[in-house]
Amino acid sequence: MSMVGEQRTPAEIRAGLDHPVIDGDGHWIEHIGVLREALGKIGGEAAATGAGYFHQGLIRSHSKTIEQRQAEGLPQEGFWGLPTRNTRDRASAMIPRFLYDRLDELGHDFAVMFPTMGLTYPSIDDEVMRVATCRAFNTYSAERFSDLGDRMTPAAIIPMHSPDEAIAELDHAVGELGMKVVMLGSLARRHIPRIEQLAPELADDFVAFDVLGIDSPYDYDPVWQKCLDLGISPTFHTGGRSQGLALRNSPSNFVFNHVGHFASAAEAVCKALFLGGVTRRFPKLRIGLLEGGVGWGIQLLGDLVEHWEVRNPAGLEETRPSALNPAAIAELAHRYGDDEMARAFEAQAERPVRSDVEMVGHLASLDDFAACEVSSEAELGELFIDNFYFGCEADDRMNARAFQARHNPFGARFNAFYGSDIGHFDVADFTEVLPDAHGLVTDGLLGDDDFRDFVFTNPVRFWGASNPSFFEGTIIESQAAAVLANPLEGAASLWAEGHVGQSALRIADTEE
């Protein structure tokens, strides 16, 4: 929220801009009765049953006392999670045509709409139910928004428990239904073989979470290639709170569980895709990580750089165990330490030396960055900055950090874009969202050009880089086309022919 100046209406703010405003992450709310009936007609009983998956975890948590949740390791799930007092806003979130008619009132030219209950369907454990529910939901979503495409587009939900089911639904949602935005499932629950062997009745409660890029039982490269083939920039919108994620598993406090959970889930996937070499193998792939902000992404790149400095093959030589000289340390211990320390080092010098490879956990390669194939810090930045985009909520003051290049790794501007999150509990009044975002300009934290990148240029490049026709037929078609015609201008460059990540090394000339 802006702290200075008189707050203006969204329409007043929009009238003062020379560019459109794209809401990159709004939410519509499904009516469970209507949804269950519709999914049943489209996908049969499995899809109708799957429609209730969103509520199953809530019911399981809310039906128990704090003591019972603590005994079973269950979290306090969210409650009172949707707007109620503001009837117009609640109706807008549930009736796409009404929201469409209010877009000018909200200051939005175009909106990408993600579901609410549908966010959870790619996490359904039962394969038949998961596939049927996602398939039916996408058909239903496409129908609901079919005549609103000049100003709104819905996101398809893609199950990712295996590459085959992901590719099949991508072909259906994008190839058959014509949907342009996809939300991939992540943190797929995988049974742990040892638990299945020793306590099969607990196998569903104690699981591992697949971060897709590394250590997965599947090779997801065909999914990334399919996204490129279909002109899709995939997004992830997965939460990081549930049983098994103990650091966000309070049985009594939802806020404790909720704070930071989107960022933590996004970081896990982003880190895995990067270290798994996905951006090396698919340099044109643009990946969106939604609702967690950008602060964690800036920190992650800094951490990756710092780790590469000391954990690259040359850096590892500084810690090779066999390089230690116990005799020399023993001599120094005699001179500067006590007798006990000296005897300990003398004994160590006399013991047989273990081989270096005995102390690495049977790794075939010691280079954790091998899949990235980097030979310099600059390359590392190039594989990160242009490929990852960060969905940010309007009232997050950390959004400004994305554009404060001199404070960021490589002096880079990060690809942050605006998401309203309308439809959920954190937005009490839809008309306050754009003013909240613009408050960073009012407060002097963002310049006008930064704000343009935040609400327009970056989302255009995110979806338009993979699909140049994404905005055709929309009311912002000409403005978006102008952006895409100049791929090297703005917050960060695209990976264009003959251009290798120069944004990673560019410091904004306008930064003071």
Residues 253 and 349 in one domain: no
Q: 98 lies in which domain range?
A: 10-187+213-310+372-505
Report if residue 512 sits inside a domain: no
Residues 413 and 482 in one domain: yes
Residues 100 and 161 in one domain: yes
Report if residue 192 sits inside a domain: no
Measured distance CA(315)–CA(317) in Å, rounded:
5
222 contact partners, CB below 8 Å, separation of at least 6: 163, 167
What is 160-171 written as a DSSP string?
A: -SSHHHHHHHHI
Residues 427 and 489 in one domain: yes
Tokens of 453: 């990148």
Report if residue 365 sits inside a domain: no
Q: How far is CA 154 from CA 12, 33, 201, 281, 425, in A?
A: 27, 20, 39, 29, 20
Residues 28 and 172 in one domain: yes
Measured distance CA(356)–CA(119) in Å, rounded:
47
Number of domains in the chain: 2
**CATH number of the domain within which 126 lies:** 3.20.20.140
What's the pTM value of the predicted model, to 2 decimals? Answer: 0.92
Residues 337 and 424 in one domain: no
What is 425-449 written as a DSSP string?
A: TT-S-GGGHHHHHHHHHHTTSS-HH
Residue 446 gets which letter from DSSP? Answer: S
**pLDDT value at residue 202:** 84
Residues 224 and 280 in one domain: yes
Residues 394 and 288 in one domain: yes
Q: What is the pLDDT along the chain (512 residues), one digit of tens a residue?
A: 444 445 799 999 999 999 999 999 999 999 999 999 999 999 999 999 999 998 887 888 889 999 998 888 888 888 888 889 999 999 999 999 999 999 999 999 999 999 999 999 999 999 999 999 999 999 999 999 999 999 999 999 999 999 999 999 999 999 999 999 999 999 999 998 998 899 988 888 788 899 999 999 999 999 999 999 999 999 999 887 764 556 788 899 999 988 888 999 999 999 999 999 999 999 999 999 999 999 999 999 999 999 999 999 999 999 888 888 888 888 898 899 888 888 888 888 888 777 777 778 888 889 999 999 999 999 999 999 999 999 999 989 999 999 999 999 999 999 999 999 999 998 999 999 999 999 999 999 999 999 999 999 999 999 999 999 999 999 999 999 999 998 665 444 433 333 334 443 333 333 33
**pLDDT value at residue 244:** 52
Residues 219 and 332 in one domain: no
Residues 282 and 348 in one domain: no
Tokens of 81: 């999670």
CA 506 vs. chain centroid, Å, equals 25
Report if residue 197 sits inside a domain: no
Residues 141 and 226 in one domain: yes
